[in-house]
Amino acid sequence: MLKLWKQKDPDAKGKFVTYEAKNISDEMSFLEMLDIVNQDFIKKNKSAVEFDNDCREGICGACSLVINGIPHGAEMGTATCQLHMRTFKDGETIFVEPFRAKAFPVVKDLIVDRSAFDRIQQAGGYTSINTGNAQDANSILIGKKEADQAFDYAACIGCGACVAACKNASASLFVGAKLAQLALLPQGQVEKKERSKRMVAQMDKEQFGSCTNTGVCSAVCPKEISLDVITKMNCEFFKSLL
């Protein structure tokens, strides 16, 4: 049994609709299950439930659903598109809701507007120096430890689950991952100070809350970004003020 959140537009009052999903196999992903449900809605001349998705490979960050109260569902380190129906019990009631945070307004049904993340990224989450062509890559030596660590931080797909899970709707895990990744690399040094100031200022402007170190952000993160990045963000930010 599904309880699906339906909301006509950003200003409308949303509500759960109940739907009994049939012919769902264990092998289906959660999004494939929703495709089947939508085919049935369309056949019955009912409006499909809108949800966001793109890659369906766990790399784009779009599949932003809250499943039974947990962003991306209860399976650890898994994006919604990689979640399989075999993780649910036969006959289980599943609640499907959009991410709920002031900075992520609902667009329709299960789709939220996460462009606040884009604006934070545009505020400084890049390097503007010329890093050379492909053949130059090995001329900038980076230690294995730093490279591995930066790669782990770069795994953040910008899905926003950390915000959705946080009681303060803090974006610190996302911003921390971006800042920590670039702070470790030689290419990231040139704009390091400005980047920290600008990204943190934009995060505040977008009305994300403050971090109170609860840790649920890291627990729900499909890429298992470590809480260390929040310490690194604070460290980078304070250093940028000196």
Residue choice 2, 4, 34, 62 for contact with ligand FES (CB under 6 A): 62
Contacted by 62, from ligand SF4, ligand FES, none: CB < 5 to 8 Å by type: ligand FES
Contact indicator for 4, 49 with CB cutoff of 8 Å: yes
Smaller CB distance to ligand SF4: residue 37 or 158?
158
Q: In whole angstroms, what is the distance from residue 220 CA to residue 25 CA?
A: 25
Residue 54 interacting with ligand FES (CB under 6 A): yes
- Total binding residues for ligand FES by CB under 6 A? 14
Contact indicator for 68, 164 with CB cutoff of 8 Å: no
Residue choice 49, 65, 66, 79 for contact with ligand FES (CB under 6 A): 79
φ/ψ (deg, to 5) at 57: -130, 10
Contact indicator for 218, 225 with CB cutoff of 8 Å: yes
φ/ψ (deg, to 5) at 17: -110, 145
Contact indicator for 199, 122 with CB cutoff of 8 Å: no
Stretch that binds ligand SF4, among 27-35, 52-60, 158-166, 181-189 (CB under 6 A): 158-166
Contact indicator for 236, 176 with CB cutoff of 8 Å: no
Contacted by 66, from ligand SF4, ligand FES, none: CB < 5 to 8 Å by type: none
Residues that bind ligand FES (CB under 6 A): 53-56, 58-63, 79-81, 157
Residues that bind ligand SF4 (CB under 6 A): 156-162, 173-174, 177, 221-223, 225
